[in-house]
Structure 1
Amino acid sequence: MTDDWDFYFLQVDDKPASIYVDLGAHDFAPNPKLPHMAYVRLHMREPRDDGLSSRAEFDALVSVEDALTASLVNVETQYVGRCTTDSCRDFFFYVSHPQAWSSRVAACMLSFDCYKYEADTREEPDWSSYFSYLYPSDADRQTIENRRVCEALKRNGDKLSEPREIDHWAYFADAKSLTAYVEEALQLGFKVRAISAPDDTRDNHSAQLWRSDIPALNSIDDVTLPLFNLAAKNGGEYDGWESIVVS
């Protein structure tokens, strides 16, 4: 496991889901020494009406997760994330040898006999469950980064309640794509701060746009994702945003 973990929300089979994933594992995956995906599916006892976890069960679920990772993780077992949806919480691991997985899990779950669970493995040398299921899409990764910037602002005394100029960056391979992006962004109320062409230090075209908005946790995605989608539509890459601290 690495130290770079985070969560995001999405829909899985048209149902709300929350994924908590080791983002840092992406840089080292797949590990050829751990070619089997192993999982534990826990049936929650007090889920919310939408199938996600409730505050009432929070401590119990943390205890189960802590016990599983403490008991199961070693040089031959790596924990990579979990998905909570449809009244279940699935824990995902990659292991060297799958033969003893069920018995290892059973020994750990003896301390939680009030929970129903299943455990199984499958051969998965490409780590497809990690890459295709747990790891966030580019848009979901942007929502994670949005939350991280907001939390950094809060740590510096920003109440995230006042509008201010927020700058946004995007990069493109050619001037035509950049121009198309900027023209559509202007229709959304953004303004141009700077346009840069390739030079000796970079080989792409860039646009720095700004608009006055409130970087609130519950609304910043509505500010950034339209620009993210516009950049992708025009073959470019949205590269995040920046705000002064308003204390």
Structure 2
Amino acid sequence: MNREVVEQLKANNDNLQIPREINHWIYFLEKKSREDFKRNLNSNFYRIVEEETLQESEFPFQLIISHTSTVEFETINHITTELLKKTIEAGGNYDGWESLIIERK
């Protein structure tokens, strides 16, 4: 999935080397799992953007977090791999990331 997003950014003339805010969507079965995940989150790197409880969802406890970095494949792949591991450990579901396009000049 990371490669697809990075390739889409490249196709839109994105300068992948410019740091920018990147949002990640994570969902949990239980509120406690979301709270545990948040407690173990590196607050020096990530910030919490939004928390919501969704109706009629298999994983109703949504968490959106962000950090600032480049979106070069190796960098974003390392970050999402670590988030995926932590999400699975907390019983959650990592649903991906997004970034604004920063065009080359």
TM-score (norm 1): 0.40
Identify the residue that residue 65 of structure 2 maps to in structure 1.
209
Q: CA deviation at 1:188?
A: 5.8
For the pair shown, the structure with the greater C-alpha radius of gyration is 1
Deviating above 6 A after TM superposition, structure 1's stretches of 4 or more consecutive aligned residues are: none
Is 1:198 the equivalent of 2:54? yes
Tell me which amino acid in the other structure corresponds to 2:96: G
SS in 1 for 2:97: strand
Alignment of 1:115-194 (within 5 A): 145-187=1-43, 189-194=45-50
Q: CA deviation at 1:218?
A: 2.1
Q: Which blocks of at least 5 consecutive residues in structure 2 are unaligned?
A: none
CA distance in 1: counterparts of 2:44 and 2:95, whole angstroms = 18
Tell me which amino acid in the other structure corresponds to 1:202: S
Q: Which blocks of at least 5 consecutive residues in structure 1 are unaligned?
A: 1-144
Tell me which amino acid in the other structure corresponds to 2:7: E
CA distance in 1: counterparts of 2:87 and 2:36, whole angstroms = 9
Q: Larger relative CO (CA 8 A, sep 6+): 1 or 2?
A: 2
CA distance in 2: counterparts of 1:182 and 1:214, whole angstroms = 23
Q: CA deviation at 1:189?
A: 1.4
Aligned residues: 102
Between the aligned residues of both structures, percent identity stands at 29
Q: CA deviation at 1:197?
A: 1.2
